[in-house]
Amino acid sequence: MYSSEVYSEKISIDETRYKLLFSFENAYGIFRFYNDDHNIRDSRAYKLISYQKINHPLSPSDILEDVFLLCKTNKLKLNQNDVICIKLNGEVVSYRFLGFRGKNINCIDPAFSRLDKFIDAECDDILSRLHKQNRVLSVLDGKSYNIENLDLSKLKLYSIARENFGSLANFSSAKNGFSEFSIFALDDLSIKRVDIYKKPFFSLRNALFSFQKMFGSQKKSLLLFDRKELEMIKDYYECKSLGAL
């Protein structure tokens, strides 16, 4: 990690909430509504009351089934309209809990309703505020860095980016296709792929493991949230070299 703390600022958000919004871990969280200032379909109106890391490859339906069984055996208490937000392989899907009613008490499908783009507005708002301040997000430690103060001669900058095939989906929700992940680095104001195996990774988890193995021990390296932030830095320093700033 980058050793200098002079120009870094910790993101002002609860640690577990940060993990669910921005980390590359496979995990799920349970949100409970509390704030009428935001739309009921927006995570900013909810408290994150539970966070669970997922250690083994699963599907969203597997997670819902586990939650369903925990509720049925009274090991987990869900209120009606609680939201289960699941992050797997960089993709996010959310479901609203509708409760157990009548003949549906032993059936999982009627108990949950798909809720699209639940955390999108919250993530976009945080990143937008950072970028307007000319800052980028170091995803592993939850700190932001001012682009203007980065010393590119001493600091190595990386990102893990999704490449979609058969769709136009973004990082957080690939649809109608399949995705692979690559590690990119900013090198001499050029963004280059640096995958050790010379081919993309099938899973985000494998890409992150490879990054940590290859570059994690470097004291002056940052893994940024996405490739867009590498491009922001590249554009800034290209303009600066031309005297446009």
Each residue's pLDDT tens digit in the chain (245 positions)?
444 444 789 999 999 999 999 999 999 999 999 977 778 899 999 999 999 999 887 899 999 989 988 888 889 999 999 999 999 998 999 999 988 765 554 566 678 999 999 999 999 999 999 999 999 999 999 999 999 999 998 899 999 998 764 433 344 444 444 568 999 999 999 999 997 777 888 889 889 988 988 886 676 889 999 999 999 999 999 998 887 76
Q: Say whether both 106 and 196 belong to one domain.
A: no
Q: What local confidence, expressed as pLDDT, does residue 166 receive?
A: 44
CA distance 30 to 32: 7
6 in a domain, yes or no? no
Domain final residue, candidates 71, 99, 120: 120
Q: How many residues does the chain have?
A: 245
**Closest to 127 (Cα-Cα) out of 214, 226, 197:** 226
Taking a C-beta distance cutoff of 8 angstroms, is the pair 179, 245 a contact?
A: no
Range of the domain at 90: 14-120
Give the pLDDT confidence of 136-183 residue by residue, as tens digits.
Answer: 999 999 999 999 999 998 899 999 998 764 433 344 444 444 568 999
Q: What local confidence, expressed as pLDDT, does residue 2 receive?
A: 45
Q: Say whether both 86 and 186 belong to one domain.
A: no
Q: Say whether both 203 and 224 belong to one domain.
A: yes
Domain final residue, candidates 120, 148, 180: 120
CA distance 103 to 1: 54
CA distance 159 to 123: 17
Q: Say whether both 138 and 73 belong to one domain.
A: no
Q: Say whether both 156 and 219 belong to one domain.
A: yes
Domain final residue, candidates 120, 155, 175: 120
What does R_g of the chain's alpha carbons equal in angstroms? 20
Q: Say whether both 190 and 102 belong to one domain.
A: no
Q: Say whether both 32 and 51 belong to one domain.
A: yes
Q: What local confidence, expressed as pLDDT, does residue 107 receive?
A: 62
Q: Say whether both 90 and 155 belong to one domain.
A: no
5 in a domain, yes or no? no
Q: Tally the domains of the chain.
A: 2
CA distance 236 to 56: 40
Please indicate, yes or no, whether the overall pTM of this predicted structure exceeds 0.95. Answer: no
Task: Give the CA diameter of the chain.
Answer: 70
Q: What local confidence, expressed as pLDDT, does residue 106 receive?
A: 56
DSSP string, 39-88: -TTSGGGEEEEEEEE--S---HHHHHHHHHHHHHTTSS---TT-EEEEEE
CA distance 28 to 203: 17
Q: Say whether both 128 and 113 belong to one domain.
A: no
102 in a domain, yes or no? yes
7 in a domain, yes or no? no
Q: Say whether both 68 and 163 belong to one domain.
A: no
**What percent of the chain shows pLDDT beyond 70?**
85
Q: What local confidence, expressed as pLDDT, does residue 168 receive?
A: 36
3 in a domain, yes or no? no
Q: Say whether both 228 and 128 belong to one domain.
A: yes
